[in-house]
């Protein structure tokens, strides 16, 4: 098992935002986690990387590749973050530094984990992987010169720079129009296959999860109430809350497409 958690997260005055949340992901697996706003999705994404706010308390276990991340000293956690586990955040343009050129931001992300190796070739490869231009002209652009879809691709290139074993995407397609969204879903699928990276695709959009993910967990009030193959979630939901989520989808989206077999 690549990831294996039993995680409780509390904010001050807010007990159990996540309540013994159990999540298991195999190497290379694409897993969806769908839940409404406020169900604890971002809390989970950040907690898995121990990027939670100082007011939050984490207890339990985050098993990753045989190590409990909750028991690691901060320096060991820093070595894993961005290298073995990478996050694709929610707001592409807000997540890039507006004052730094794209190239500088990619080099910075490279040198965090590879201080003495030149990153140019790997950066070129990551941009190509994310179907972005690899030219010097592109690297000289500032974030505000990018479309939101391109900015999201830059963040994906940054996330795959060190070939992580696990990619966590938190609402990574929610800010995008439908065509860009489906391109980014296809990109995640390709990248996961090409590099064997597992993907935890966190979203409020059950249809997007059904499009991409073989298995989907339904997060409701800080607990996973149902975890099943996408087909089961859409056709035979067992939990009352899952049934309501599926029923709320437009009819043509209530069925995951046949591509969801990865």
Ligand X SMILES: Nc1ncnc2c1ncn2[C@@H]1O[C@H](COP(=O)(O)OP(=O)(O)O)[C@@H](O)[C@H]1O
CB 205, min distance to ligand X, A: 12
How big is the CA angle at 110 (ends 107 and 116), to the nearest 5 degrees? Answer: 100
Contact yes or no for 196/164 (Cβ under 8 A) = no
Applying CB under 6 A, the span of 39-47, 155-163, 223-231, 238-246 interacting with ligand X comes to 39-47
CB 163, min distance to ligand X, A: 27
Which residues of this protein are in contact with Mg ion, per CB under 5 A? Answer: 41-42
Instruction: State yes or no: residue 116 binds ligand X (CB under 6 A).
Output: no
CB 163, min distance to Mg ion, A: 26
d(CA 130, CA 124): 10
CB 15, min distance to ligand X, A: 11
Instruction: State yes or no: residue 53 binds ligand X (CB under 6 A).
Output: yes
SS3 (DSSP) at 10: strand
Contact yes or no for 227/41 (Cβ under 8 A) = no
Instruction: State yes or no: residue 10 binds ligand X (CB under 6 A).
Output: no
Question: How distant, in Å, are the alpha carbons of 9, 10, 40 from that of 13?
Answer: 12, 8, 15
Instruction: State yes or no: residue 32 binds ligand X (CB under 6 A).
Output: no
SS3 (DSSP) at 244: helix
Among the listed residues 37, 75, 116, 252, the single contact to ligand X using CB under 6 A: 37
Output the CA torsion 26→31→34→39 (10° steps): 30
Applying CB under 6 A, the span of 38-46, 148-156, 176-184, 235-243 interacting with ligand X comes to 38-46
Instruction: State yes or no: residue 39 binds ligand X (CB under 6 A).
Output: yes
d(CA 143, CA 154): 9
Among the listed residues 1, 15, 26, 38, the single contact to ligand X using CB under 6 A: 38
Applying CB under 6 A, the span of 20-28, 37-45, 139-147, 250-258 interacting with ligand X comes to 37-45
Q: Report residue 79 as tokens.
A: 């070595």
Q: Which residue has the tokens 């590749």?
A: 65
**Distance in Å from the first CA to the final CA of the chain:** 17
Give the list of residues 6+ apart from residue 185 with CB closer than 8 angstroms, or none: 173, 208, 211, 212
Among the listed residues 55, 133, 196, 257, the single contact to ligand X using CB under 6 A: 55
- Given the complex with ligand X, which of 57 and 67 has the nearer CB atom? 57
d(CA 197, CA 13): 37
CB 165, min distance to ligand X, A: 23
Instruction: State yes or no: residue 43 binds ligand X (CB under 6 A).
Output: yes
- Given the complex with Mg ion, which of 41 and 107 has the nearer CB atom? 41
Contact yes or no for 199/188 (Cβ under 8 A) = yes
Instruction: State yes or no: residue 35 binds ligand X (CB under 6 A).
Output: yes
**Which among Mg ion, ligand X, none contacts residue 35 (Cβ within 5 to 8 A by kind)?**
ligand X
Q: Which residues bind ligand X (CB under 6 A)?
A: 11, 14, 17, 35, 37-43, 53, 55
């Amino acid at each position: 098992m690549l990831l294996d958690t039993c995680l409780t997260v509390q904010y001050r005055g807010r007990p159990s935002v996540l309540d013994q949340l159990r999540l298991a992901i195999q190497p290379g697996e694409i897993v969806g986690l769908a839940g409404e706003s406020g169900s604890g999705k971002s809390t989970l994404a950040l907690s898995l990387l121990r990027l939670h706010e100082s007011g939050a308390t984490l207890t339990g276990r985050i098993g990753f590749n045989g190590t409990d991340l909750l028991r690691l000293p901060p320096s060991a956690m820093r070595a894993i973050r961005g290298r073995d586990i990478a996050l694709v955040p929610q707001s592409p343009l807000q997540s890039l530094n507006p004052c730094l050129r794209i190239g500088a931001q990619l080099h910075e992300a490279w040198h965090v984990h590879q201080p003495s190796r030149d990153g140019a070739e790997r950066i070129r490869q990551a941009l190509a992987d994310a179907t972005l231009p690899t030219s010097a002209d592109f690297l000289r652009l500032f974030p505000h010169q990018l479309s939101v879809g391109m900015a999201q691709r830059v963040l994906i290139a940054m996330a795959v720079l060190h070939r992580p074993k696990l990619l966590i995407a938190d609402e990574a397609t929610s800010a995008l129009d439908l065509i860009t969204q489906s391109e980014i879903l296809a990109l995640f699928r390709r990248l996961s296959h090409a590099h064997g990276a597992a993907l935890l695709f966190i979203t409020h959009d059950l249809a997007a999860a059904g499009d991409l993910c073989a298995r989907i967990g339904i997060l409701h009030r800080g607990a996973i109430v149902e975890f099943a193959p996408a087909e089961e979630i859409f056709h035979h939901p067992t939990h009352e809350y899952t049934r309501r989520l599926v029923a709320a989808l437009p009819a043509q989206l209530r069925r995951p497409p046949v591509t969801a077999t990865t």
